[in-house]
């Protein structure tokens, strides 16, 4: 029995995830033909999605990692977004595709979009595996969207609850939350 089985129920299973990630990869491959793409993976939640997605993008690309945190372990955003790790190279003139696991209130992404736009990239787009419109506090346009979900606290495939459950291999819901 897996370590999480008592705590986590399935929302989106592995097969459904992989099928959607593959389709998004194909779409990105078509849209960025002839361009040098930079994936800006938002730590830590997007890592599983980003690495699976990158495998399905048939283009030369660069990986960058940007750490931001606002939840500080809880289930409610603190509303204060902080950069905890910055990218390793200047972003000016690059075709940036931000990879995120979830747009919930949108506060993290609103901060990030503004922050990256100020670095004058050639283009700036967003891929998010999940969107939770019920809690949106600001409108974020998602260029490549995996799934729209209800107002439930999700874990797994990179998403955590108090830093735990990121390695659950599917998108799950905390039982009793
Ligand atoms: C989570 C999630 C998104 C953000 C979405 O990150 O991974 O980055 O919150 O929430 P929002 O739309 O309400 O801002 P978190 O701050 O928990 O850091 P983590 O990725 O390291 O878990
Ligand atoms: Mn995150
Ligand atoms: Mg988190």
Tell me the catalytic residues: 104
Give the burial string for 50-71 (b: 16+ CB within 10 Å, else e).
bebbbebbebebeebbbebbbb
What pLDDT sits at residue 39? Answer: 98
Nearest CA to ligand 1 atom 3: 102
* Confidence tier at 23 by pLDDT (50, 70, 90): very high
- Mutation test residue for ligand 1: of 71, 74, 171, the one with most atoms within 8 Å of CB: 71
What pLDDT sits at residue 70? Answer: 81
DSSP code per residue over 26-84: HHHHHHTTTS-EEEEEEETTTHHHHHHHHHT--S-EEEEEEEEESSTTSSS--S--EEE
Using the predicted structure, report yes or no on whether residue 116 has a pLDDT greater than 90.
Answer: yes
* pLDDT (tens digit per residue) in 125-158: 999 999 999 999 999 999 999 999 999 999 999 9
What pLDDT sits at residue 74? Answer: 65
CB of residue 154 inside a 6 A radius of ligand 1: no
Nearest CA to ligand 1 atom 10: 104
Using the predicted structure, report yes or no on whether residue 79 has a pLDDT greater than 80.
Answer: no
Among 14-23, 70-79, 87-96, 115-124, the minimum mean pLDDT is found in 70-79
Residue 36 main-chain phi, psi, to 5 deg: -90, 115
Element (H, E) at 8: strand 8-12
Average pLDDT over residues 93-100: 98
Please report the domains of the chain, with CATH numbers, ordered by start residue: 13-153 (3.40.50.2020)
Using the predicted structure, report yes or no on whether residue 46 has a pLDDT greater than 80.
Answer: yes
Nearest CA to ligand 1 atom 21: 44
Other Cβ atoms less than 10 A from the Cβ of 49: the count is 28
């Amino acid at each position: 029995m897996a370590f999480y089985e008592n705590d986590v129920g399935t929302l989106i299973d592995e097969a459904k995830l992989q099928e959607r990630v593959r389709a998004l990869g194909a779409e990105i491959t078509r849209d960025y033909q002839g361009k040098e793409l930079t994936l800006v993976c938002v730590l830590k939640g997007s890592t599983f999605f980003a690495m699976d997605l990158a495998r399905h993008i048939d283009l030369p690309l660069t990986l960058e990692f940007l750490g931001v945190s606002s939840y500080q372990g809880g289930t409610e955003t603190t509303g204060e977004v902080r950069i905890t790790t910055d990218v390793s190279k200047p972003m000016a003139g690059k075709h940036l595709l931000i990879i995120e696991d979830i747009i919930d209130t949108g506060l993290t992404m609103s901060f990030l979009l503004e922050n990256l736009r100020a670095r004058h990239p050639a283009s700036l787009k967003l891929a998010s595996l999940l969107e939770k419109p019920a809690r949106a506090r600001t409108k974020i346009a998602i260029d490549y969207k995996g799934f729209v979900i209800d107002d439930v606290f999700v874990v797994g495939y990179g998403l955590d609850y108090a830093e735990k459950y990121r390695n659950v291999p599917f998108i799950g819901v905390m039982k009793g939350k």
